[in-house]
Structure 1
Amino acid sequence: MGTSAKPRRITMTPAALRVRAAAAKLFYERGIHAVGVDLIAAEAGVTKKTLYDRFGSKEQIVVEYLADRDERWRALLAQYLDAAHPEPSARLLAVFDASLAWAQEHSSKGCSMVNAHAEISDASHPAYPIITGQKEWMLALFTRLARDAAPDGADHLGRTLMLLHEGALVAHGLNIFPNPIRQAREQAQVLLAAAGDTATER
């Protein structure tokens, strides 16, 4: 899978920041297609003219909403990775710890990228590369971290950890059973222990 092209971004003025904050709340809670620019403008306390002057289109607001969440997620994850013990399995488990912290504060309805993909499946949409780009980046991260834990099986281990992680995010959003991210972390720990045992045997 190739790296997604980066979409155009805009300079954020104070009015644009208010629009993005209002849109982010509405998009996440109600869905992207269900929210119109009239409602966003009203919630942000700006005119539609100001909204279009700053963003040009609703599509660009979606771009800025998702890109901002992606950037904040990566920043939080970097903090957890920096604070983790250098041992490979500890750094991999730190990804799950970061996701748990993020989900508790920002993602009561599940992963915003997964939710957005349910509404934006057209690859020509300017926000599409942000959605797929984050997941490609996460897979690359899991694979890179897995390489230190199990050099010979890094691709397989990275994909398996990615499946655990993404499945947990979806389960969290569905709220069918408690603590799916914590349970996924526990399963990841078992998987990493087995991978470490295999590596030691070799």
Structure 2
Amino acid sequence: MRPNKREELVSKALTVFYQNGFHATGMDRLVAETGISKTSMYKHFRTKDELILAALRLRDERFRNWFMRRVEELAVAPRDRLLAVFDVLGEWINLDEFKGCMFIKASAEFQDRSHPIHVQSTEHKRLVYDYLSGIAAQAGARDPEQLACQLMILKEGAIVSAILNVGCDVVVQSKAAAKALIDQALASPPPTH
């Protein structure tokens, strides 16, 4: 089925925003790079912010579906899936078109925490956190929320470090740190006397 004009616009805008940022991408640039007229854009979206929100929702849907599917393709056991998160992260980081996390960028460009674009970015991260927390609970972590928080910090730090090219293999290092955290979180507590 051929996508409708609105879906086509959102998909093309997503690519342009991801490559160039949100504030740096004006409506004229969107017209030039998507081939969709301003009239058509404004027919579907009253403002650029509405288009950004639609693009972020599409990115969230595509990315989370891909991410979760790949984690589950790589590992069956919950503990192994927690580690596979970092293998999948490495697959993404090593893509030629990798330009960092669109949600980190959006929250940096729209820093007011009540702004709908910031809220949408936060929601994406919360959904990924919930996914990790669920796997941590299945794996038997003593505190699944704490482990999910720690893994999120590692994952997000790896993404930013990959963009900044900090001089180490961020995927290898973040996975090694994740393994240590997972081993600690899943270890049996010492017996009490």
Partner of residue 164, structure 2: 174
Inter-partner Cα distance in structure 2 for 1:30 and 1:156: 35
Q: Is the 8 A contact 1:109 1:172 kept in 2?
A: no
Residue 29 (structure 2) pairs with residue 39 (structure 1): yes
Q: Is the 8 A contact 2:141 2:185 kept in 1?
A: no
Deviation at 1:191, TM superposition (A): 2.2
Inter-partner Cα distance in structure 2 for 1:46 and 1:76: 27
Partner of residue 44, structure 2: 54
Q: What SS is found at the alignment partner of 2:156?
A: helix
Deviation at 1:33, TM superposition (A): 0.6
Q: What SS is found at the alignment partner of 1:56?
A: coil
Deviation at 1:81, TM superposition (A): 3.3
Residue 188 (structure 2) pairs with residue 199 (structure 1): yes
Letter in 2 for 1:115: K
Query: RMSD of the TM alignment (CA)?
Result: 2.3
Q: How does 1:92-107 map to 2 (within 5 A)?
A: 92-105=82-95
Letter in 2 for 1:199: S
Letter in 1 for 2:42: Y
Inter-partner Cα distance in structure 2 for 1:106 and 1:51: 29
Residue in structure 2 matching 1:121, options 111, 123, 144? 111
Q: What SS is found at the alignment partner of 1:105?
A: coil
Residue 27 (structure 2) pairs with residue 27 (structure 1): no
Return closer, same or farther for 1:111/1:136 CA change in 2, 3 Å cut-off.
Answer: same
| Runs of 5+ consecutive residues of structure 2 not aligned to the other structure | none
TM-score in terms of structure 1 length: 0.82
Partner of residue 65, structure 1: 55
Letter in 2 for 1:51: M
The percent identity for this pair of structures is: 31
Inter-partner Cα distance in structure 1 for 2:95 and 2:66: 12
Inter-partner Cα distance in structure 2 for 1:181 and 1:64: 30
TM-score in terms of structure 2 length: 0.85
Q: Is the 8 A contact 1:149 1:195 kept in 2?
A: no
Letter in 1 for 2:6: A
Deviation at 1:170, TM superposition (A): 0.9
Q: Is the 8 A contact 2:106 2:117 kept in 1?
A: no
Inter-partner Cα distance in structure 1 for 2:14 and 2:97: 12
Letter in 2 for 1:79: R
Aligned length: 190
